[in-house]
Structure 1
Amino acid sequence: MYNPTVARLTYRALLGRRRALLLCALPALLIIVAALVRAMNGADDAVAGQLLGGFALATMVPLIGVIAGTGAIGPEIDDGSVVYLLSKPVKRTSIIVTKLLVATGVTAVFSGVPVLVAGFILNGNSQQIAVAYAVAAIVASIAYSALFLMLGTLSRHAVVIGLAYALIWEALFGSLVSGAKTLSVQQWALALAEKIAGSGADVTSDVALPAAVVLIIVVTVGGTLLAGQKLRSLTLAGEE
């Protein structure tokens, strides 16, 4: 299912100069803010949780997911270069799975690593907070990548829609509105962070862990299947 050629082309597209700068900007900001907060407040578990949950998991991770997920295939569909891939003897399911793996890897690295670093800066991983939020960021990366990859195949306005989702649904409703939290990737990932950190840490989710795991799987598998179905429906000139 994994195609090295498709992976190489996708990595090249995602890690080009412009997207690479965008992917680095938010992690760099997180680490800088973490260093400033530590310098001003010292090690504080509550503050660490607020920054890692309120900014990193609620805003940074979904935004990186938008950049990587939509960027893995959206531009190729928009400019028509996807025809190059479709004309090759490569299964369209393989194209989608490969692009999902690349998008997930990029999102996980640019999310999980800076969250872990920021967590150690903030409180030295006291109560496993740094590890808990880093694992949560990586798990959230899987669902976001599938979700935004699907969006990239469905709409030419995938980036705009993805940004609206990340900034309005995840950062705002997913953090503040009780009913919306159940359908928030952020809350599903927080359920795992809560389990890792344990009851002594101030890490909580409004979604139970079993339900969170099921929902992450459903979104990941469902998004991948829909993206694959959309790609299979695209036809080359001259195809019946």
Structure 2
Amino acid sequence: MYHPTVARLTYRGLLGRRRAFILFALPALLIVISVVIRVLTGADDDTAVNVLGGFALATMVPLIGVIAGTGAIGPEIDDGSVIYLLSKPVKRHTVILTKLIVAIGVTVVFSAVPTLIAGFVLNGNSQQIAVAYAAAAAVASVAYSAIFLLLGTVTRHAVVAGLVYALVWESLFGSLIPGARTLSVQQWSLALAQKIGAEGAISSDVGLPLALTLLIGVTAAATWYASRKLRTLTLAGEE
């Protein structure tokens, strides 16, 4: 299910100069903002929730997911080099699963870890807020990686589509429109944060059992369909 060579090539592509700059810039911005806020206002639980929920989980995590998920396979499809990869004796679902694992790893490292650090900076993990949001960022990373990896297999404009989803649906509609919140990865992951955090510190519009079911279902469905699209792409390339 995991192919080391595919993983190495994927890591190399994701951590190239331009993508690496964005991957490092967003977490660095979060930590700088957190330090400045802590210095100016001191430790405050409400401020920590606003920063970690409003910037880290709602904006930074999906954006990093876009970069990692689409970057794991999109460029190879665009330039046609994926056909050479798929001509090797590697099962198609193994390719997708390996790339998904890499994308998840990159997204977790560049989103959940900085979120945890920022939370400790903002309020010292009072009411378990830092740990709660870091856990939410980690589970959201899994779903985002699968969704955006799928986008990388179905469209050549995966980055644009991913940005629209991340910035318009998740950050805007998912935060403001009640009905859209139940169909938001952000809200699903917040259900876990609500469970971990102190009572009343964090809230979600989705219950934890439903949220976990949706997270697992979306991740599995996106991974399955990405594998299916990759098989179709291979057949088309070989014809």
Check whether TM > 0.5.
yes
Partner letter of residue 136 of structure 1?
Answer: A
Work out whether residues 127 and 200 of structure 1, in 8 Å CA contact, stay in contact via their aligned partners in 2: no
Stretches of structure 1 that go unaligned for 5 or more consecutive residues are none
Q: Does 1:226 align with 2:228?
A: no
Structure 1 residue 49: deviation in Å?
0.2
Structure 1 residue 18: deviation in Å?
1.0
Q: Deviations over 1:129-172 (max 9, x none)?
A: 00000010000000000000000000000000000110100111
Structure 1 residue 45: deviation in Å?
0.1
Alignment of 1:131-150 (within 5 A): 131-150=131-150
Structure 1 residue 84: deviation in Å?
1.4
SS of equivalent to 1:183: coil
1:174 corresponds to: 174
Structure 1 residue 121: deviation in Å?
0.3
2:93 corresponds to: 93
Partner letter of residue 235 of structure 1?
Answer: T
Structure 1 residue 237: deviation in Å?
7.2
2:209 corresponds to: 210
Alignment of 1:1-240 (within 5 A): 1-201=1-201, 203-235=202-234, 239=238
Structure 1 residue 83: deviation in Å?
1.0
Q: Give TM-score scaled by structure 1 length.
A: 0.98
Distance of 2:88 and 2:31 partners within structure 1: 43
Work out whether residues 191 and 209 of structure 1, in 8 Å CA contact, stay in contact via their aligned partners in 2: yes
- Give the 3 Å change call, closer, same or farther, for CA 238–100 of structure 1 in structure 2: closer
Q: Deviations over 1:203-238 (max 9, x none)?
A: 000000000000000110000001000000113678
Q: % of aligned pairs identical?
A: 72
Distance of 2:2 and 2:74 partners within structure 1: 19
Stretches of structure 2 that go unaligned for 5 or more consecutive residues are none
Q: Deviations over 1:67-95 (max 9, x none)?
A: 00000000000000101111100001100
Work out whether residues 83 and 237 of structure 2, in 8 Å CA contact, stay in contact via their aligned partners in 1: no
- Give the 3 Å change call, closer, same or farther, for CA 237–146 of structure 1 in structure 2: closer
Distance of 2:224 and 2:235 partners within structure 1: 21
Distance of 2:45 and 2:14 partners within structure 1: 35
Partner letter of residue 6 of structure 2?
Answer: V
Structure 1 residue 17: deviation in Å?
1.2
Partner letter of residue 90 of structure 1?
Answer: V
Report the RMSD for the aligned CA atoms in angstroms: 1.0
- Per mean C-alpha deviation after superposition, the further-off stretch among 143-152 and 228-237 is 228-237
Distance of 1:41 and 1:137 partners within structure 2: 25
